[in-house]
Every structure is written in C-alpha cells, then in structure tokens.
Amino acid sequence: MSTTPSPKETALGGTAETSGPNQPSSTTWIWIALAAVIAVVGVLAFVFTRSDGSTGGGSATPSGTVVPNGKVTIGSVTVSGTALPNKSAAGADSAVGQTIPTIEGETFDGTKVTIGPADEPTIIMVIAHWCPHCQREVPFLQSWLSANGAPEGVRLVAIATANDAAKPNFPAGDWLVREKWSVPTMIDDKASAGAAALGVTGFPYFVVVDAQGKVIERTSGELSAAQWESLINAAKTGTGQPSA
Amino acid sequence: MLSEIRPSDLREVLTRAKIAPMLLATAVSTFSFFVAMLALLCWVAVVAIGIGALVHRFASREISMLESLRSDIARIALPLAWVIALVTMLGSLYYSRIQHYVPCELCWYQRICLYPFAVILGIAAWRRDAGIRIYAIPVLAIGAVVASYHTWIQAYPPSNGTSFCTADAPCTLRYVWEFGFVSLPFMALSACCCMIVLLLIARPTPRTGLTPESL
C-alpha cells in the first residue's frame, strides 16, 4: 500500500481490498465486457444511421443532427478559367460577353455541383448567410419559385459564400434548410474563391449567363418580383445567337 | 483570387484526398448516434452503481458477489473515468474542429471543467491515486451544473433567449438531437455524472510492480 490510502478512503470503500493483485483476471473481464458493449454500440450506430437514410426513419420524435443535411459548413471549391472582373458601381459592366470560369464544388450534403458554361442559360445567385438582404431575398425568391415553378429552360444555381462561423446565421445550410430553399447551392470555401471568380461586390448577387457561358447581365441587391422576372427574361432571350 | 491550396491547410489536403468529405458526409450521424449511446451507457453505469451502493448500505448481510464486483469496479474506476474524459474531449473536438460546430459560451464552461481531466485522471489512474477525487469532483460538479442548465435550455428553449445566447454561437441551437432528447450538453452532463460516481467509488490499489515513490 505504498500509495497511502487514507482511512477515509477505505471507509468509503466499505470492505478492505480482498481480491488483491492475485486476481487480475476479474478486472480484465470487466474491461473486455466494456469493450464489447462499446463495439456493439458502434455497430448499432453504423447500422441504424445507414438504414435510416437521412433523418427520422422509424422514431416518432425528430431525431438526428439538426444542422443541414451533410453538414458541410465551409466547402472546397476549384476554379478554372478566367475570373470575371469586379462589377463597377456605375457604367457598363465590362464582364458582359465574357465567358464565366468553371467553378467546381459541393452542395451542403456533399453532392458535386459545377457552375460554368453549360448548354442552357443560367442564373447564378450568390448569397451570404449573415447578409440581411439575402435573408429577405431567399424566402422571397423561394415563394416566387413555389408559386411559379422553376423557370423553363433556365438553370438556377446558387453559391453560399462568405461563410464565417463568427457571423450570425451560421451555418448557411441550416438557414437554407429552414427556408426550404430549392435551388442547388454550392458551398463556397474559406477564401470565398467561387464568389471571387464571379467578381462579386455585394450580396445578394446575380449573374445571368447565356447557353454559351457568356455573361448577359450582373446585378446585386435585393430584387423585386419584376426585377427577378426581368433577369429570367434576360436569360431566356439573351441566348439569341443559336448559330454561334 | 482564384482558389489556392495552402499546403498547411490540412483540411484542404484531406478534402483532396476525399477523406474529409467522407468523414463529413457519412460519419456525423453515425458518430452522433454512437456518442449518444455512450452517454446513455454512462447513465446505466450511474444507476447501476447507485443501486449497488444502496444495496450495500441497507442489505442485512454481505453479498459476496456484490462485494467482489464492487472491488473490481473500484479498481478500474480511475482508468475508466480517464477514458470517459478522453472520449468526451475528443468527441467535442471532433464536433468543433472537424464539423465546425461553433461552441457557445456555455459549451466553453463545460469544456473548461472537462478537458483537464483527460490528462489529470490519466496521471491519477497511473499513480492509482484515488485521492484525486477531492480535487476533481468539485470541478466536475460545476461542469455538471452548467451542463444541466444547458441541457434544459436546449430541450426547452426560453422564448426570450438567455444572456448566454449570442447570434454567432447560439446556445439553444441543437447541433445534435438524438432519440429526441440527447443533446451535446446532455452528453457532457452524462460524462460529468459518470465520472463523479466512478471517482466516488474508486479505490487506490497497490501496484504490483513499481510505485511512483519507488521510481
């Protein structure tokens, strides 16, 4: 007893140490049993979360992790091609007619998404979780989309950028799930490389691109329904070079 | 302005290697389920030890099986408490460093009360020094109180918010909500309570070989 148990401790223990060092196997068995239980729990965790799919499979109460599906809060983005220049506050937008770069990344659930010259006109929306204008614009556009359906022949895609855990309403995925946002949304990386490649100067930000991947129009700020519809119109009509 | 990969950024490297997306996308629900089950196991241990203690106190005669089991558990209590501290710390670091869940103010207080024991109880377990309980239990009790409050406000978020809640790290946001009640502070509470109980029944046991004094 060189580790000097105080009388109090032995009193707490009730009876004196009876097993002593001659019985190491009994504690070994407890360790083995614990390890086995934990292994079983691990297997259960694996099986249950696999068969469950995403959330709330069998149980009546909502279960699982409440943050967005996939929980990607800050993404990883690859940009190839020439970045668009920043949009100047006044005057003609020098990016009009320029081909947009290709931005590869993931949505919140880890699905690959690519933004770049596609075969159809595209409207790219750039939003930030902490920006009050975006917080109003997202539900507004979503209600428009729910009422009117996705615009025919125009691809809608978004980039959730400027993701910052130190700012309000983080993570963006949580917010967008809450708003039932239906537009596929790429999650930008720490350096906001995706937004930078589009020359973003403010939020929300919209880039209208034709079927050849050339910029038709760029705009920023909250949109009215009329302004939003005019962007869709620009996307549809701005593609008027079928022979190109 | 184009995306640049800094070699120092481990997360980037892991992402390229497809390890991080795999961890991020598939593991978090499994991990949460797993640690939630471990938290429940902690309560099983607390209740079992509590019942054992009551039986021991009020039984008219000694039950030899209970005595030997108690003695065995007393001997593994310190290392087990250390393992719990270690797992709790690693789990919390997984959520904040890998999943980027932002710890709120209350989370930080619980971390302050729990993290040191990942080292301290390791040393105590190695030294077989159950006397550590005198220092450890008060700290863990503070952690348990904070965790209880945090568990409460996550389960029943007050409509007018709390003084601890900030917009960037809201303390009422349920990052994890397993089985309809297991939240992250509930896990911290489970760990604190289980460690307290284990420390209470821990007994110093003689080392067969070297003792710290003989080194």
* More reliable by pLDDT, A199 or B148: B148
Q: How far apart are CA A207 and CA A201, in angstroms?
A: 12
Angular region, A81: left φ>0, alpha ψ -120 to 50, beta rest: left
- Read off the pLDDT of residues B90-143 as tens digits, 9 standing for 90 and up: 999 998 888 777 788 899 999 999 999 999 999 999 998 999 999 999 999 999
Q: Where are the domains of chain B?
A: 8-206
Question: Would you state the pLDDT for residue A57?
Answer: 32
- Cβ B1–A83 below 8 Å, yes or no? yes
- Cβ B32–A64 below 8 Å, yes or no? yes
Nearest chain A residue to B127, by CA: A3
- Closest in A34, A50, A191 to B3, CB measured: A191
The Cα of B107 is separated from the nearest Cα of chain A by a number of Å equal to: 15
Spans of chain B, pLDDT less than 70: 1-27, 159-170, 205-215
The DSSP bridge partners found for residue A128 are A161
Q: How far apart are CA A12 and CA B57, in angstroms?
A: 11
Question: Would you state the pLDDT for residue A90?
Answer: 64
Q: Where are the domains of chain A?
A: 24-59, 78-237
Nearest chain B residue to A112, by CA: B21
Question: Would you state the pLDDT for residue B167?
Answer: 55
Residues in CB range of A142: below 8 A, 6 or more apart: A179, A180, A181, A182
Output the six-digit token pair for A147: 């009422």
Question: Would you state the pLDDT for residue A122?
Answer: 92
Question: Would you state the pLDDT for residue A207?
Answer: 93
Tell which residue, A133, A115, A100, has the closest CA to residue A203.
A133
* pLDDT beyond 70 at A35: yes
Question: Would you state the pLDDT for residue A109?
Answer: 75
The Cα of A165 is separated from the nearest Cα of chain B by a number of Å equal to: 7
Question: Would you state the pLDDT for residue B3?
Answer: 46
Spatial contact of B85 and B91, defined as CB atoms under 8 Å apart: no
Residues in CB range of B137: below 8 A, 6 or more apart: B196, B199, B200
- Closest in B34, B127, B178 to A63, CB measured: B178
Q: Determine the residue among A34, A54, A65, A107 to mutate to test chain B binding: the one whose Cβ has the most chain B Cβ atoms within 10 Å.
A: A65
Nearest chain B residue to A59, by CA: B179
Helix (H, G, I), strand (E, B) or coil at B14: helix
Q: Give chain A positions within 8 Å (CB) of B182.
A: none
Q: Give chain B positions within 8 Å (CB) of A9.
A: 130-131, 203-204
Average pLDDT, chain A: 76
- Cβ A3–B207 below 8 Å, yes or no? yes
Question: Would you state the pLDDT for residue A169?
Answer: 82
Q: Does the bond joining A168 to the residue before it have cis omega, within 30 degrees of 0?
A: no
Give the highest mean pLDDT range of A50-59, A107-116, A117-126. Answer: A117-126
- Read off the pLDDT of residues A204-222 as tens digits, 9 standing for 90 and up: 899 999 888 889 988 888 8
CATH 3.40.462.10 describes domain A78-237? no
Q: Each residue of B121-135: b (16+ CB within 10 Å) or e? A: bbebbebbbbbbbee
Q: How far apart are CA A220 and CA A87, in angstroms?
A: 9
Output the six-digit token pair for B38: 């471990």
Question: Would you state the pLDDT for residue A34?
Answer: 92
- Within B10-158, residue ranges assigned H as helices are 10-16, 19-22, 28-58, 64-93, 105-114, 117-127, 133-155
* More reliable by pLDDT, B172 or A223: A223
Question: Would you state the pLDDT for residue B16?
Answer: 57
- Read off the pLDDT of residues A81-120 as tens digits, 9 standing for 90 and up: 888 888 766 667 888 888 999 998 888 877 788 888 888 8
- Cβ B177–A66 below 8 Å, yes or no? yes
Range list of β-strands (E), A30-95: 64-65, 78-80
* More reliable by pLDDT, A202 or B83: B83
Question: Would you state the pLDDT for residue B84?
Answer: 96
- Cβ A168–B168 below 8 Å, yes or no? yes
Question: Would you state the pLDDT for residue B122?
Answer: 95
Residue B35: what residue type? V
Q: Determine the residue among A32, A37, A41 to mutate to test chain B binding: the one whose Cβ has the most chain B Cβ atoms within 10 Å.
A: A41
φ and ψ at residue B51, rounded to 5 degrees: -65, -45
E strand or H helix at A186, and its extent?
A: strand A185-187
Question: Would you state the pLDDT for residue B164?
Answer: 65
Nearest chain B residue to A58, by CA: B179
* pLDDT beyond 90 at A238: no
